[in-house]
Amino acid sequence: MSGHASIESCRDRHNEPVRTIDWRGDHIELIDQTRLPGEVVMLRIETVDALVDAIKRLAVRGAPALGVAGALGMAMAALTGDTVQAVRQAESLRAARPTAVNLSWGVDRARARLGEGPDAVLAEALEILEADVRVNHTLGSRGARWLLDALGKQAVNVQTHCNTGALACVEWGTALGVIRALHQDGALGRVYVNETRPLLQGAKLTAWELAQDGIEHTLVVDSAGPSVVARGMVDAVIVGADRIAANRDVINKVGTYPLALAAARAGIPFVVAAPESTIDPATPEGSAVEIEIRDPAEVLGTDTPAATTALNLAFDVTPADLVTAIVTEDRVLTTR
Amino acid sequence: MSGHASIESCRDRHNEPVRTIDWRGDHIELIDQTRLPGEVVMLRIETVDALVDAIKRLAVRGAPALGVAGALGMAMAALTGDTVQAVRQAESLRAARPTAVNLSWGVDRARARLGEGPDAVLAEALEILEADVRVNHTLGSRGARWLLDALGKQAVNVQTHCNTGALACVEWGTALGVIRALHQDGALGRVYVNETRPLLQGAKLTAWELAQDGIEHTLVVDSAGPSVVARGMVDAVIVGADRIAANRDVINKVGTYPLALAAARAGIPFVVAAPESTIDPATPEGSAVEIEIRDPAEVLGTDTPAATTALNLAFDVTPADLVTAIVTEDRVLTTR
């Protein structure tokens, strides 16, 4: 691995895989994803303010992990014993990032137990944490099985975008959970990974996770993803979701929509893997979602002319008619 | 311009705009595009080997500029007086980059005059050089007029990809020539520019040219280009071409195809601006073109895991049915 952080440094003393985010008695421990793939650094988070900061700078990211972070943050706030302050902190947690529904879902679920005392809030948060692990394994297996059945194939090559792996959740992953399940079943050829500008979650996080697991993978620039599909190099596109509207429009990392357009034109499945908590009945359709616009500095180079501005859209909307299937822990919704 | 190379440093002593590539009596002078936008460095090219190197490392790039470079390189070879060697050098020039048809077209046009002596080869090359300037202005005006007529609008916002400006030609530009003509006519709102990974020709070259001209522009990551279209922020997409097949499939910088898919879905014009020399009757359709695969190192980061490979496709194919219009110096071909 030529000096890269290895899987060994990512296991605890009982040889269990280290979780992306976990509860340690009175504080949160999480992997600082801004330091990967160069090094695995664990962050000790002891206050809600520190958690909000970690969420904003993407030290922890990925819709399911954000749900867990929101709930654990709420528990941390409740354990201080100051309920008024805890309610105020819930709002700052919910506002840390606007697009993924899971963050506010996690905060709200834990906050609902505030009247029963801090221990109840913590119990709820820990249940969300453990459920995420179960949910990911279940949806990964279901997605793998569905895909092989739908394609009538023994093995498949797939394309994915951004990071939807263990690092986006507590363990295992959503879209990458499906890919891991295919690999476990000996049904995976090669994975094409978009680098995912501007923050390169594909190149930095997904490539790292796939390398750890010994899964063959090839990186392409984001704009080449549709070409990989058009050239017949993959059998399906599998992505995660930050929010799924009631009409099944999918809001996910910017760059998802062009892959869906390409998959539809090529006639291959475009599969979205996400927990049920990502489906938001309160969002009628994609256009109703506030798309996070991040700092232009993430896009602009140091030598970009002063007159140049940047629009840093973090997510895009894939209309429901381009989505072949949505796989959750409970079901497969086929919409194309 | 906060320390950036300014337009002043890009004018010669007669206050004429410095050309991207020009002939200086016995050698070629060209702007080293790998140094932009930080600094404007002129390269003195005295041998065909040096020219081949400049082409391979993209110091000179863009289909029309490559046509001129090929012809001037052929003239430089002919002027040595060694015809056998000149014929051999023609092959190494033609092979410097495989996808753009203009490079071999320029070499072939100049080489055809080899029997008439070195002066005839040079005269042919200089005619190609001067014609490029005329052609660009003509197609720019025609494209601007056509677009405003087609849309029935007084002013438009447009999206473009890669660099198709003065830097891709001798002066003015193809797709960026259309955009400049719109600006000259007071008919241009804002230009959205894709950064164009991996080499960032949009962020480094197009943004620089637009800043020089005082044209309002906004940079987006490549994967956000289709979102800009879907969100109704632009009235049209305008790109150049490296080759246009007989069936009107368009081969252009990777990332063009997703924009065409998005434009078709949004029902806005997808316009290709290119000289007639880009149309290759010998290429029946896009799938017949060899797509240049460049060094994976352009995509891989220094901290990418050792097990990660990269596929660096430099171009993609946009099927003819997604192209609304092809604008050349002679005509507008409408195909959608």
User: What CA–CA distance (Å, rounded) separates A28 from B83?
Assistant: 75
- Which chain A residues touch B309 with a CB distance below 8 Å? 217-219
pLDDT at position A226 over 80: yes
Shortest distance between the Cα of B157 and any Cα of chain A, in A, equals 15
Interface with chain A: mutation pick from B35, B194, B223, B298, highest number of A CBs within 10 Å: B223
Question: Do residues A62 and A207 share a domain?
Answer: no
B288 secondary structure, DSSP code: G
Q: How far is CA B81 from CA B32, B75, B76, in A?
A: 28, 10, 10
DSSP per-residue codes, A32-82: -TTSTTT---EEEE-SHHHHHHHHHTTSS-SHHHHHHHHHHHHHHHHTTS-
Q: pLDDT, tens digit, for every residue of A12-39? A: 445 456 799 999 999 999 999 999 998 8
Structural domain of residue B33, as residue ranges? 21-131
Which pair of tokens denotes residue B137?
Answer: 């202005």
- Which chain B residues touch A200 with a CB distance below 8 Å? 301
Considering only CB atoms, B305 lies closest to which of A207, A226, A305, namely A207
Question: Do residues A149 and A287 share a domain?
Answer: yes
Which pair of tokens denotes residue B262?
Answer: 């998005």
Domain boundary among A108, A131, A154: A131
Considering only CB atoms, B254 lies closest to which of A203, A224, A300, namely A224
The residue to which tokens 């879902």 are assigned: A105
Percentage of residues in chain A with pLDDT exceeding 70? 94
Question: Do residues B167 and B313 share a domain?
Answer: yes
CA atoms within a 13 Å half-sphere pointing along the CA-CB vector of A271: 33
Residue B283 is assigned to a structural domain of this protein: yes
Q: Report CB contact under 8 Å: B4, A306.
A: yes
Question: Do residues A120 and A149 share a domain?
Answer: no
Q: Among A112, A92, A106, A111, which Cα is nearest to A48's?
A: A92
Which pair of tokens denotes residue B209?
Answer: 């040219």
The residue in chain A having the minimum alpha-carbon distance to the alpha carbon of residue B2 is A306
Question: Do residues A126 and A171 share a domain?
Answer: no
Average pLDDT per run of 10 along chain B, which is 336 residues long?
A: 39 63 96 92 96 96 94 96 93 90 94 96 97 95 98 97 94 96 98 97 95 96 98 98 96 98 98 95 94 95 91 98 98 85
The number of folded domains in chain A is: 2
User: What CA–CA distance (Å, rounded) separates B87 from B101?
Assistant: 19
pLDDT at position A101 over 50: yes
Q: How far is CA A78 from CA A99, A125, A136, in A?
A: 25, 11, 28
DSSP per-residue codes, A248-287: --EEEETTHHHHHHHHHHHT--EEEE--GGGEETT--SGG
Which pair of tokens denotes residue B280?
Answer: 């290759």
- Judging by DSSP bridges, how do beta strands A243-245 and A28-31 pair with one another? unpaired
CB of A208 within 8 Å of a chain B CB? The answer is: yes
Active site residue B242: yes
- Label residues A194-212 b or e (16+ Cβ within 10 Å = b): bbbbbbbbbbbbbbbbbbb
- Which chain A residues touch B289 with a CB distance below 8 Å? none
- ipTM summary value: 0.91
Domain boundary among B82, B107, B131: B131
Q: Report CB contact under 8 Å: B258, A262.
A: yes
**Catalytic position from the list A132, A235, A242, A249:** A242
CB of B152 within 8 Å of a chain A CB? The answer is: no
Question: Do residues A231 and A112 share a domain?
Answer: no
Q: pLDDT, tens digit, for every residue of B45-58? A: 999 999 999 999 99
Residue B315 is assigned to a structural domain of this protein: yes
The CATH number covering residue A46 comes to 1.20.120.420
Q: Report CB contact under 8 Å: B223, A219.
A: no
Residue B189 is assigned to a structural domain of this protein: yes
Q: pLDDT, tens digit, for every residue of A268-308? A: 999 999 999 899 999 999 999 999 999 999 999 888 899 99
| Residues B295/B312, Cβ–Cβ less than 8 Å | yes
The residue in chain A having the minimum alpha-carbon distance to the alpha carbon of residue B313 is A224
pLDDT at B8: 37
Question: Do residues B284 and B155 share a domain?
Answer: yes
Q: Give the Cβ contact number of residue B32 at 10 Å.
A: 16
pLDDT at B168: 93
Shortest distance between the Cα of A253 and any Cα of chain B, in A, equals 9
Domain boundary among A87, A104, A131: A131
Q: Report CB contact under 8 Å: B211, A308.
A: yes
User: What backbone torsions phi and psi does residue A187 show, to the nearest 5 degrees?
Assistant: -110, 20
Residue A8 is assigned to a structural domain of this protein: no
User: What CA–CA distance (Å, rounded) separates A160 from A197?
Assistant: 14
- Which chain B residues touch A1 with a CB distance below 8 Å? 305-307
Question: Do residues A162 and A59 share a domain?
Answer: no
Q: Report CB contact under 8 Å: B228, A299.
A: no
pLDDT at A14: 53
- If residue A149 lies in a helix (H) or strand (E), which one and from where to where? helix A118-151
pLDDT at B208: 94
Residue B4 is assigned to a structural domain of this protein: no
- Judging by DSSP bridges, how do beta strands A243-245 and A279-280 pair with one another? parallel
pLDDT at A100: 74
Residue A9 is assigned to a structural domain of this protein: no
Q: pLDDT, tens digit, for every residue of A30-67? A: 999 999 998 889 999 999 999 999 999 999 999 899 99
Interface with chain B: mutation pick from A303, A315, A322, highest number of B CBs within 10 Å: A303
- Which chain A residues touch B220 with a CB distance below 8 Å? 299, 310-313
Question: Do residues A217 and A269 share a domain?
Answer: yes
A–B CB contacts, 8 A cutoff, strictly below? 199
Q: Whole-prediction pTM value? A: 0.91
The residue in chain A having the minimum alpha-carbon distance to the alpha carbon of residue B227 is A316
Interface with chain A: mutation pick from B221, B228, B253, B311, highest number of A CBs within 10 Å: B221
Question: Do residues A99 and A242 share a domain?
Answer: no
The single-letter code of the amino acid at A221 is V
Q: Report CB contact under 8 Å: A305, B1.
A: yes
- Which chain B residues touch A316 with a CB distance below 8 Å? 223-224, 226-227, 230
Residue B15 is assigned to a structural domain of this protein: no
Question: Do residues B55 and B81 share a domain?
Answer: yes
pLDDT at position A198 over 90: yes
pLDDT at position A3 over 50: no
pLDDT at position A5 over 80: no
| Residues B26/B15, Cβ–Cβ less than 8 Å | no
Q: Report CB contact under 8 Å: B223, A222.
A: yes
- Judging by DSSP bridges, how do beta strands B21-23 and B28-31 pair with one another? antiparallel
Residue B216 is assigned to a structural domain of this protein: yes
**Catalytic position from the list B242, B249, B303, B321:** B242
Which pair of tokens denotes residue A297?
Answer: 């500095």
Average of pLDDT values for A237-265?
A: 97
The CATH number covering residue A242 comes to 3.40.50.10470
Question: Do residues A112 and A246 share a domain?
Answer: no
- State chain A's mean pLDDT as an integer: 93
Average of pLDDT values for A88-97?
A: 94
pLDDT at position A225 over 60: yes
CB of A311 within 8 Å of a chain B CB? The answer is: yes
CB of A38 within 8 Å of a chain B CB? The answer is: yes
Q: Report CB contact under 8 Å: A218, B311.
A: yes
pLDDT at B98: 81
Q: Cα B170 from chain centroid?
A: 10
